[in-house]
Amino acid sequence: MAEHAPLSPMLVTDSPEEKFREFLEIRGEKLTEPRRILIRHIFDSHKHFDADELVADLRASARKVSRSTVYRTLRLLVEAGLLRELRLTNRTAYEHDYGYPSHDHLHCTECNRVVEFNNDEIRKIRETVSLEHGFRAEGHRFMITGICPTCSRARSPRRRLDLI
């Protein structure tokens, strides 16, 4: 499988931090310093991560945010539409939702690698099926699970079940 360039962010008028502040104000909450640290750290790079990886990244960069604040803030960021939750085989990962185009995923069940891809045919099918049912589609989630090329090469070719 060829490596594909990561998705490029879309041009948005408000920063994720501004959007989150607005979401919190509507709820009567404040953008505290730990929440500010989290949102800046999360949106500083585009990658898939789980809560434990985020906690480890924060510790490695000497940023002080409690584990409970990380978990609560991730839930809020999903509610605010800034992050999307991906339920993988053995973990829940997060990715940017705000400021990134609609896309789908490949998930390696061996190494947990997640690859993003765009495919117009999938979007056409979504629209056709929605139209047939009088449904107004707002989005979709499509994830192909399997084994990535690296993990496939690492497997022993002598295993009979792998040949089926």
- The full set of domain ranges for the chain reads 13-100, 101-164
- How far, CA to CA in Å, does 109 sit from each of 104, 138, 143? 16, 28, 12
If 0-12 CB within 10 Å is exposed, 13-18 middle and 19+ buried, where does residue 82 land? buried
In this prediction, what percent of the chain has a pLDDT beyond 70? Answer: 88
Question: Rounded to 5, what percent of the chain is helix, strand, coil?
Answer: 40, 15, 45
Residue with tokens 């404040």: 30
Greater pLDDT, 14 or 1: 14
- CATH class as words, domain 101-164: alpha beta
pLDDT digits (tens, 9 = 90+) for 11-54: 778 899 999 999 999 999 999 999 999 999 999 988 889 999 99
Q: Do the domains 13-100 and 101-164 sit in the same CATH topology, yes or no?
A: no
Instruction: Say if CB 41 and CB 34 are below 8 A apart.
Output: no
> Does CATH place domain 13-100 in 3.40.630.10?
no
Q: Strand, coil or helix: what is 85?
A: strand
pTM for this entry? 0.76
Average pLDDT over residues 103-110: 90
Q: Which amino acid is it at 132? A: E
| Helices and strands counted in the chain (H then E) | 6, 5
How many Å apart are CA 125 and CA 130, to the nearest integer? 8
